[in-house]
Amino acid sequence: MTSVSHRTRAGGCPFHTAGRAASSPTGCPVSSEAATFDPFDAPYQLDPAEALRWSREQEPVFYSPKLGYWVVSRYDDIKAIFRDNLTFSPSIALEKITPPSDEALAVLKRYDYGMNRTLVNEDEPAHMARRRELLDAFTPEALEAHAPMVRRLVRDKLDAIIDRGRADLVAEMFWEVPLTVALHFLGVPEEDMEQLRRFSVAHTLNTWGRPSPEQQVEVAEGVGKFWQYSGQVLAKMQAQPHGHGWMYDMIEKNRQKPDVVTDNYLHSMMMAIIVAAHETTALATANAFRQLLSRPAVWAELCENPELIPAAAEECLRHSGSVVAWRRIATRDVEVGGVTLPEGGKILMVTASANHDPSHFENPDELDIYRDNAVDHLTFGYGSHQCMGKNLGRMEMRIFLEEFTRRLPHLELEEQAFTFLPNTSFRGPEAVWVRWDPASNPERRDPSVRTAQRDFPVGAPEARAIVRRVTVAEARPEAEGVLGVTLTDPAGRALPAWTPGSHLDVVLPTGEARKYSLCGPADSGDWRIAVLREEAGRGGSRWVHEAVREGIELRVRGPKNHFRLDESAGHHVLVAGGIGITPIIAMADRLRRLGKSFELHYAGRSRRSMAFVERLERDHGEALRLYPKDEGRRLDLAELLAEPSEGTLLYACGPERLLAALEAGTAHWPEGSLHVEHFSAEGALLDPSREHAFEVELADSELVVEVAADRTLLQTLRAAGVDVPSDCEEGLCGSCQVEVIEGEIDHRDKVLTAAERAGQDRLMSCCSRAKGKKLVLAL
Interface with ligand HEM, residue 392, by CB under 6 A: yes
In the complex, least distance from residue 673 CB atom to ligand HEM, rounded to whole angstroms: 42
The partner in contact with residue 220, picked from ligand HEM, ligand FES, none with C-beta cut-offs of 5 to 8 angstroms by kind, is none
Residue 39 touches which of ligand HEM, ligand FES, none (Cβ within 5-8 Å per kind): none
Among 28, 388, 530, 732, binds ligand FES (CB under 6 A): 732
Task: Give the SS3 label for residue 14.
Answer: coil
Q: Does 277 bind ligand HEM (CB under 6 A)?
A: yes
Binding mask 361-380 for ligand HEM (x = CB under 6 A): ------------------xx
Q: Which does 382 bind (CB under 5 to 8 A by kind): ligand FES, ligand HEM, none?
A: ligand HEM
- Site track for ligand HEM across 127-166, x = CB under 6 A: ----x-----------------------------------
DSSP character at residue 405:
H
Contacts of 761 (CB under 8 A, 6+ apart): 739, 740, 741
Q: What is d(CA 26, CA 23) in angstroms, rounded to the nearest whole number?
A: 8
Q: Which conformational region is residue 55 in: left (phi greater than 0), alpha (psi within -120 to 50 degrees), or beta?
A: alpha
Please give the full DSSP string across 272-315, using - where no structure is assigned: HHHHHHHHHHHHHHHHHHHHHHTSHHHHHHHHH-GGGHHHHHHH
Residue in 645, 644, 638, 646 with CA at minimum distance from that of residue 665:
638
Minimal distance, residue 750 CB to ligand HEM, in Å = 34
Instruction: With beta carbons less than 8 A apart as the criterion, state whether 288 and 255 touch.
Output: no
Binding mask 285-324 toward ligand HEM (x if CB under 6 A, else -) reads: ------------------------------------xxx-
What DSSP character marks residue 173? I
- 250 versus 586: smaller Cβ distance to ligand HEM: 250
Picked from ligand HEM, ligand FES, none, the partner binding residue 727 (CB below 5 to 8 A depending on kind) is ligand FES
**766 binding partner (options ligand FES, ligand HEM, none; Cβ < 5 to 8 Å by kind):** ligand FES
Q: Closer CB to ligand FES, residue 108 or residue 766? A: 766
Among 174, 185, 229, 516, interactor with ligand HEM by CB under 6 A: 185
Among 735, 738, 743, 770, binds ligand FES (CB under 6 A): 735
State yes or no: residue 326 binds ligand HEM (CB under 6 A).
yes
Q: Which of 736, 738, 740, 770 binds ligand FES (CB under 6 A)?
A: 736
CA angle 18, 22, 25 (to 5 degrees): 120
Q: Which residue's C-beta sits nearest to ligand FES? A: 766
E runs forming strands in 710-752: 737-742, 745-746
Q: Number of C-alpha atoms within 13 angstroms, CB side, residue 704? A: 6
Q: What whole-number distance in Å separates Cα of residue 155 and Cα of residue 400?
A: 9
Is the CB of 120 or the CB of 649 nearer to ligand HEM? 120
CB atoms within 10 A of CB 753: 12
Q: Is 709 exposed, middle or buried (0-12, 13-18, 19+ CB in 10 A)?
A: middle
Q: Closest distance between ligand FES and the C-beta of residue 736, in Å?
A: 3
Write out the binding residues for ligand FES, residues 743-762 only, by CB under 6 A: 749, 751
**Contact yes or no for 349/82 (Cβ under 8 A):** yes
Stretch that binds ligand FES, among 128-136, 142-150, 358-366, 724-732 (CB under 6 A): 724-732
Strand partners, 573: 599, 650
Q: Are the C-beta atoms of residues 141 and 389 closer than 8 Å to each other? A: no
Contact between residue 398 and residue 310 where contact means Cβ atoms under 8 Å apart: yes
The DSSP code sequence of 14-27 is: SS--S-TT-B-TTS
Footprint on this chain of ligand FES (rule: CB under 6 A): 726-729, 731-736, 749, 751, 764, 766
Footprint on this chain of ligand HEM (rule: CB under 6 A): 82, 90, 119-120, 131, 182, 185, 276-277, 280-281, 284, 321-323, 326, 379-383, 385-390, 392-393
